[in-house]
Structure 1
Amino acid sequence: MLEFRTQGYNGYSVKYSPFFDSRIAVAASANFGLVGNGRVYVLGLTENGIVADKWFDTQDSLFDTAWSEAHENQLLTAGGDGSVKLFDITLAEFPVQSWQEHGREVFAVHWNLVSKDTFLSSSWDGTVKIWSPNAPASLTTLPTHSCTYSAAFSPHSPSILSCVSSDSHLRIFDLRTPASASNHLTLSIPIHTPPKPRMGAAASVGIPPAEALTHDWNKYRETILATAGVDRVIRTFDIRAPGAGPIAVLPGHEYAVRRISWSPHLSDILLSASYDMTCRVWTDGSAMGVGSVQQENMLDDPMVHGGGREMGRMGRHTEFVTGVDWCMFGAEGWCASTGWDERVLVWDCRAIMQ
């Protein structure tokens, strides 16, 4: 396990470069993001450990970062002052572009993985905005009417994007549809709808809605997404059947789940980071037949649905874990995490999986 200290700055987000397996970006904030400056680090993984190749300071907290999919040296930041900034790590300390349209903190930025000429941001102001790095103003604004913590383009389509919000809904937008009164909204799925009962089982009791803090698209199954948040439970959904409720329910974290990420290598594996100071590896059960392990999971914990289970946990952080990401290169399993303990850890989740 490799470690880097973000001295004086509490980590919020960590992202591997899509171009280099040895380059990581970390968005961090002074004073836990409550007040003060932000800093985005560009870290290099070397034979001598993790080194800071570059960093940029901002006047307000940073809550997320995303690498450009079109330019290997550029990355985005999401600011507590409502700004979205684009930095080039080959240039001086100032951003090459800055946008200031959001009325509240920006909590997520994400680059379009397919067309690669647009990116998005989501904010506590109840909007998701679509941008071009070459345009001075946003291209489209999508209202959610709710504090929106996480937004992402589908890795399978340049026109489909999703978000989760404080009103406990997963929303799907399709930019190909007419804007009209729906503002491209095609689906709004209540996350806390109980799953359909299994054969012979009693119907599930509805769970009070709680804020959804994070979600991610499955990299291999284009209609599957996972969500998580304040209620500590990870759920997966199939947008082909929005009224069916979650297809898998994975309880286990002791406090809110702050970030989840599907594996870029395996279709059933996802990674989570939580305020309980752990990162955990899960299978959603989709790669298993209805065998003994799946049956036992369903019987052992009545909250489990879909046959998934926790496969291991990493407990080396000593404060809230707020960011986690997979390395897309090399052997499957390498990942990075960051948290409020001012640490970035790079580790192999295969060492903890059972």
Structure 2
Amino acid sequence: MLEFRTEGFNGYAVKYSPFFDSRIAVAASANFGLVGNGRLYILDLTPNGIVPLKWFTTQDSLYDIAWSEIHENQALVGSGDGSIKLFDATVDEFPIQGWKEHSREVFSVHWNLVAKDKFCSSSWDGTVKIWTPARPQSLLTLPTHSCTYSAAFSPHSPDILSCVSSDSYVRVFDLRTPAAANHLTMQIPIHGGASTSVPTKAGFAPASCPPSEALTHDWNKYRPSVLATAGVDRTIRTFDIRAPQQGPMSAMMGHDYAIRKVTWSPHLSHVLLSASYDMTCRVWSDGSDTGMAGGDADFMRSGPSAGPMMGRELGRMGRHTEFATGVDWCLFGSEGWCASCGWDERLCVWDVRAVMV
């Protein structure tokens, strides 16, 4: 395991470069993101360990990061002052571009993997905005009317994006639809209704628990209709947008506190990583590899009254000593390398296979 100290700054998000297998970016904030500066670190993995290539200090906290899909040296950050900034690792000191339309904290930024001239952001102001680096103003604003913690484009379509928010809904937008309904095509209650159930150690329990804030979500890289959500209730759920009325396909439980980040593996269709306020990062299977949940046969036989299947924890990494807030997979090489960051001012680079039971 490799480590780097973001001294004086508490990590919020980490992302591997889509262009270089040895480059990582970390978005961090002073004073746990409550007040003070932010800092973007561009780091290289070398034979001598993790070496900072460059860092940029900002006037306000940084909460998320996204690498550009069109320029290998550029990365976006979302800031506590409602701004989005684009930095270039070859340019000293200042962002090369900036946008400020959000009225509150920008908690997520995500670059479109298909239409690579666009990116999106979500904010505590209850909106998702779509941008292009070619324009100083946003292209489109999608209201959610609720504090929106995570927004992401589908990796399979240039026009579909989703978000999760404090009202416990996952919303799916299709930009090809008429604008009259703000392109909203689907609104799935994450906690379901009284007819659904959640697996527990003692059997099944009703899933009609009070809604709680959804903090993170991610699209499956291999199954275009599947996404995962997680948040304050400590449960990872997967949904198939082909049948939103059926509720979650699978549920993964085990974290002791809120889940801050969840991300699907870029190598295996059934594997996820999560980072939690319980100071652990965990690797999971949603069960689709064994037919437990999520396969087409399981999708066809399930009905509205069928509860989600139980995924399983494959292993955990417990080296963080404060909230684990960010985790990301390496896109290159063997299918186990990842990076995590947390409020303990540490970036950890580790191999998932080393912690699997």
Q: TM-score range by the shorter chain?
A: over 0.9
Q: Partner residue of 2:348?
A: 345
Q: Which of 309, 312, 315 is matched with 2:315 structurally? A: 312
What's the offset of the Cα at 1:203?
7.4
Contact 2:6 2:347 in 1 (8 A): yes
What's the offset of the Cα at 1:129?
0.3
Q: Structure 1: which amino acid aligns with 2:271?
A: I
Q: Partner residue of 2:213?
A: 211
TM-score computed with the length of structure 1 as normaliser: 0.94
What's the offset of the Cα at 1:308?
1.2
For residues 153 and 291 of structure 2, the distance between their equivalents in structure 1, rounded to whole angstroms, comes to 31
For residues 281 and 247 of structure 2, the distance between their equivalents in structure 1, rounded to whole angstroms, comes to 26
Q: Partner residue of 1:300?
A: none
What's the offset of the Cα at 1:87?
0.6
Q: Judging changes above 3 Å, is the alpha-carbon distance between structure 1 residues 233 and 92 closer, same or farther for their aligned structure 2 residues?
A: same
Q: Which runs of 5+ in 1 are unaligned?
A: 292-303
Q: Partner residue of 1:126?
A: 126
SS at match of 1:220: coil
Q: Which runs of 5+ in 2 are unaligned?
A: 294-306
The answer to whether residue 68 in structure 2 is matched with residue 64 in structure 1 is: no
Q: Judging changes above 3 Å, is the alpha-carbon distance between structure 1 residues 94 and 286 closer, same or farther for their aligned structure 2 residues?
A: same
Q: Judging changes above 3 Å, is the alpha-carbon distance between structure 1 residues 88 and 124 closer, same or farther for their aligned structure 2 residues?
A: same
Contact 1:250 1:305 in 2 (8 A): no
Q: Partner residue of 1:114?
A: 114
Q: Partner residue of 1:136?
A: 136
Q: Structure 2: which amino acid aligns with 1:191?
A: I
For residues 55 and 262 of structure 1, the distance between their equivalents in structure 2, rounded to whole angstroms, comes to 28
What's the offset of the Cα at 1:306?
1.5
What's the offset of the Cα at 1:115?
1.1
SS at match of 2:353: helix
Q: Structure 2: which amino acid aligns with 1:220?
A: Y
What's the offset of the Cα at 1:307?
3.6
SS at match of 1:282: strand
Q: Deviations over 1:154-183 (max 9, x none)?
A: 000000000000000000000010100x10
What's the offset of the Cα at 1:204?
2.6
Q: Partner residue of 2:176?
A: 176
Q: Structure 1: which amino acid aligns with 2:184?
A: L
Contact 2:263 2:274 in 1 (8 A): yes
For residues 341 and 158 of structure 1, the distance between their equivalents in structure 2, rounded to whole angstroms, comes to 37
What's the offset of the Cα at 1:289?
3.1
Q: Partner residue of 1:247?
A: 249
Contact 2:250 2:309 in 1 (8 A): yes
Q: Partner residue of 2:260?
A: 258
Task: Quote the RMSD (CA, aligned, Å).
Answer: 1.5
Contact 1:151 1:161 in 2 (8 A): yes
For residues 308 and 108 of structure 1, the distance between their equivalents in structure 2, rounded to whole angstroms, comes to 27
The answer to whether residue 320 in structure 2 is matched with residue 321 in structure 1 is: no
What's the offset of the Cα at 1:305?
3.6
Q: Judging changes above 3 Å, is the alpha-carbon distance between structure 1 residues 34 and 330 closer, same or farther for their aligned structure 2 residues?
A: same
Q: Partner residue of 1:185?
A: 184
SS at match of 1:170: strand
Where does structure 1 differ by over 6 angstroms across 4 or more consecutive aligned residues?
none
What's the offset of the Cα at 1:134?
1.0
Contact 2:328 2:338 in 1 (8 A): yes
What's the offset of the Cα at 1:92?
1.3
Q: Structure 2: which amino acid aligns with 1:348?
A: D
For residues 205 and 75 of structure 1, the distance between their equivalents in structure 2, rounded to whole angstroms, comes to 39
User: Identity, % of aligned pairs?
Assistant: 73
The answer to whether residue 339 in structure 2 is matched with residue 336 in structure 1 is: yes
Q: Partner residue of 1:289?
A: 291
Q: Deviations over 1:228-285 (max 9, x none)?
A: 0001010000000111110001110000000000000000000000000000000000
For residues 97 and 78 of structure 2, the distance between their equivalents in structure 1, rounded to whole angstroms, comes to 13
For residues 168 and 310 of structure 2, the distance between their equivalents in structure 1, rounded to whole angstroms, comes to 23
Q: Partner residue of 2:232?
A: 230
Q: Deviations over 1:317-344 (max 9, x none)?
A: 0000000000000000100000000000
For residues 253 and 240 of structure 1, the distance between their equivalents in structure 2, rounded to whole angstroms, comes to 28
For residues 54 and 156 of structure 1, the distance between their equivalents in structure 2, rounded to whole angstroms, comes to 32
SS at match of 1:32: helix
What's the offset of the Cα at 1:290?
5.1
Q: Structure 2: which amino acid aligns with 1:183?
A: N
